[in-house]
Chain A
Amino acid sequence: MTNKVTNILLVGVGGQGTLLASEVLSEVLMMAGYDVKKAEVHGMAQRGGSVVSHVRFGEKVYSEIIPEGEADILFGFELLESYRYLPLLRKEGRAIVNDLKILPPAVALGQESYPKDIPEKIMRAFPKSNVVQGLALALKSGNARTVNTVLLGALSNSLDIKEDMWKEAIRKLVPERFVNENLQAFELGRTA
């Protein structure tokens, strides 16, 4: 019996909407008939802290956290955080990352420096990766805060799930007054 489990690691900075994106992703996967597990760390005043969410799906999933070095997709909302978790990607894996810098405190204070050329470093190590201009696309949808949905759109190209199902999950989980702009953001993301 082959029980292939696919592993998606979502990383970002507290407040970016990483967790909502992982909710939508898990919902879609359940609707598509997979066994799904999702793990995250939150609870402390994590605003501005590093946020990680594991989503695993397949016929049957045991561990809810992704085994070390076995992520198939690194789904990053911020460049440094994407770069930080790169060692968790498997050799043939790919990163789908937002081209956005949020400075950590020590960098904002001028004590440490932000690593240079992260997109190039990611592309060199994992050539199948995709760097998305998330904020620019989100602004096109009319709301800068839909970046996470734009990114979901970009991710959706890598998963074999019908577009309608994604949209249904967005309608279900996004607050009603933001649904339309999020649907538009999702479509923009699919072109990225």
Chain B
Amino acid sequence: MEKAILSGNEAIARGAFEAGVKVASAYPGTPSTEILENIIQYKGIDASWAPNEKVALEVGIGACFGGARSLVTMKHVGVNVAADPLFTLTYTGVRGGLVLVTADDPEMHSSQNEQDNRNYAKFAKIPMFEPSDSQEALTYTRLAFEVSEKFDTPVFLRTTTRISHSKSIVELGEPVSETPEIGLVKDPPKFVMLPGNARRRHPIIEQRLLDMEEWASDQPFNRMEEGSKDVGVITAGVSYQYAKEVLPDASILKLGMVYPLPKRLIREFAARFKTLYVIEELDPFLEEQLLAMGIQVKGKELFPICGELTPGRVKKGLTGKEAEVAFQHDEALPNRPPNMCPGCPHRGVFLALNRLKAFVSGDIGCYTLGFMPPLSAMDTCVCMGASIGNATGLCKALSPEDRKKVVAVIGDSTFLHTGVNGLIDMVYNQSQGTVIILDNRITGMTGRQENPSSGYTLMGEPAPEVNLEQLCLSIGVRHVKVVDPYDLELTRATIREEMERPEPSIIITRRPCMLMKRDVVKRKPPLVVDIHKCTACKACLKLGCPAIIWDDSAGEKGKAHVDPLICVGCGVCEQVCKFGAFGVSDDK
């Protein structure tokens, strides 16, 4: 058997290939992104980036109605976007299997909230598998497709960051030989969810859950591991690993499917122990269902509801003691937050917004880092695509004078995700507000994925580019300007002018991301500081560019210094220096 070290995401991609998936769709979102990036290595799968998660799911639904096994992946908050079709898909069921991966992010390594999407399983009445390592990520992906077709239901596969981005050893299997036949089958009572049909479907869904619950008690993915006679643990997902690490001798009921629960199996297990722990991350999802079954358990009274579990947090919950450490710092250490890259085209825009004292309604992307000092130019940030709607709402409430200060910023990918709808509303309802589309030609935050305006598909094929200017004009925006954000004077003047305008206006700041994978942006020679001209005014430091370093040891007050290894020569610092201290070196 061939072995490989795969991340959970790579294992899901492999599992989808082995399960005979034909169509895969997603919007990138950490920690789910690498599933589709890996799936493209397997021939015969049509994989694509959708503009948002709702569209991705709708594509998957169409494919499964046509008989194809389809995979749809997203991060936890993406399911909020996709929730509308999802709740009705439960009613129609599938033809080919449909698996929706929700990659949750406890601890919010890269997210704006830490919602526990196991709740969606119960809410949407959809079964959910939860792997606890890469091997299970592969096995459960295959299994989820079988279950989807067996019970005529969409199936959730839930991962968390530690499953998605951890690597462990996996045995690779052979692709299945039999998958459903592809073709059109007319079946309106099943696929047309108008009230009369939907009413007939609802009892079917309820019965399906009861059937699955009974079935699940006898399935090997829900397994008992025999150990101590006194202590029993019920757990699932990555929490299982922490339970095994901390309580190697406990008896464990490891649930591979977290909804619906195998109630018969649980009662059988629980009856044997005086002390029963539920070890689970985030919400008391299992705990509440167990309590509702009349089973006494210890759970969230011991383990935190906020943040990730770790072996240390599990141990502390069980014993009340913190882990012992051999070394403790006796001094405060400087933090090292992420930063916009040297040469990032967003930097100049945020400098301008800071100087203009704008109230910036922000969005989700690399540019959310515009919040960080020294740029400090973001005042709100709610979810993908919210910036424009938020700006509209602010303007509805504010005085005419205050309205002028409101500026929405949004990336090209985010604008096409759900921002465009907000713009339609702003124009249609004749609100006002300045909208800046930070067009870096790519979806930067998640690792430079293509999007409908970048000119390429996930597979690397050329694609038509959405023309953002024409799109905005067609919505009814009358003032659309395009500027190069490396030109600080023009950028600031344009923003100032548009902020004055008592109607919606769009500024597109266009410059490719410095980390572009294709059409690599050429670096210019690094800049150098003429220390005789540097007056130590520190204006350049307000840019927060990682390449500009303050050299304490130079001169009386110190001097600016450019790190030639990381400077890309964008020249923005040259424009903020009033003394002409920045320039290109004559040396090679």
Nearest chain A CB to B319's CB is how many angstroms away?
13
Binds B, one of A56-64, A152-160, A180-188: A56-64
Contact at A38–B5, with CB atoms within 8 Å?
Answer: yes
Contact: A109 with B30, CB < 8 Å? no
- Docked pose: A69 CA to B311 CA in angstroms: 11
Interfacial chain A residues near B374, Cβ < 8 Å: 109
Q: Contact residue range for chain B?
A: 35 or more
Q: How far is the CA of A63 from the CA of B331 in the complex (A)?
A: 31
Chain A, residues 21-39, CB within 8 Å of chain B (1/0): the string is 0000011001000011111
| A64, B166: Cβ atoms closer than 8 Å | yes
Quick check: A39 and B336 within 8 Å, CB to CB? no
Question: CB within 8 Å of A: which of B359-382?
Answer: 366, 369, 374
Q: Does A127 lie at the interface of the complex (its beta carbon under 8 Å from any beta carbon of B)?
A: no
B110 and A43 within 8 A (CB):
yes
**B167 close to A37 (CB less than 8 A):** yes
Give the nearest-CB partner of A55 in chain B. Answer: B167
- Chain A positions within 8 Å of B334 at CB level: 80, 104, 106-107, 112-114
A45 touching B369, Cβ below 8 Å: yes
Contacting A47 at CB < 8 Å: which of B245, B323, B339?
A: B339
- Return A109 CB to nearest CB of chain B, in Å: 5
Q: How far is the CA of A61 from the CA of B135 in the complex (A)?
A: 13
Q: Decide if A61 touches B168 in the complex (CB within 8 Å).
A: yes
Q: Which of B287-295, B527-535, B540-548 is the interface stretch?
A: B540-548
Q: Which residues of A contact B544 (CB under 8 A)?
A: 105, 109
Please, which residues of chain A bring their CB within 8 A of the CB of B245?
62-63, 67
Do A27 and B5 contact each other (CB < 8 Å), given the known contacts A61-B168, A69-B323, A87-B329?
yes
**Cα-based distance from A129 to B544 in the complex (angstroms):** 35
**Which of B3, B327, B341 has the largest count of A CB atoms less than 10 A from its CB?**
B327
Q: Please, which residues of chain A bring their CB within 8 A of the CB of B33?
A: 43
Contact with A along B350-366 (1 / 0, CB 8 A): 00000000000000001
Say yes or no for A142: interface residue by CB 8 A criterion: no
Could you tell me if A50 and B241 are in contact, using CB atoms closer than 8 angstroms? no
User: CB-CB < 8 A to A14: which residues of B?
Assistant: 338
Interface of B is mostly: loop
A109 to B547 CA separation, bound complex (whole angstroms): 11
A109 and B333 in contact (CB under 8 A), knowing A36-B5, A48-B546, A64-B168? Answer: no
Q: Is A128 an interface residue (CB 8 A)?
A: no
- In the complex, the answer to whether A49 meets B336 with C-beta atoms within 8 Å is yes
A89 at interface, CB cutoff 8 A: yes
**Residue contact A108 to B549, C-beta cutoff 8 Å:** yes
Complex CA–CA separation, A43 to B245 (angstroms): 27
How far apart are the CA atoms of A128 and B446 in the complex, in Å?
39
Interface check B447, CB cutoff 8 A: yes
CA distance A87 to B339 in the complex (A): 26
Is B552 among interface residues, defined by CB-CB distance under 8 A? yes
Residues of A within 8 A of B (CB): 13-14, 26-27, 30, 35-50, 61-65, 67-70, 80-81, 83-84, 86-91, 93, 103-110, 112-115, 125-126
**What 10 pairs across the A-B complex have the smallest Cβ distances?**
A43-B30, A68-B312, A49-B338, A68-B323, A67-B311, A110-B550, A91-B326, A64-B166, A62-B244, A104-B336
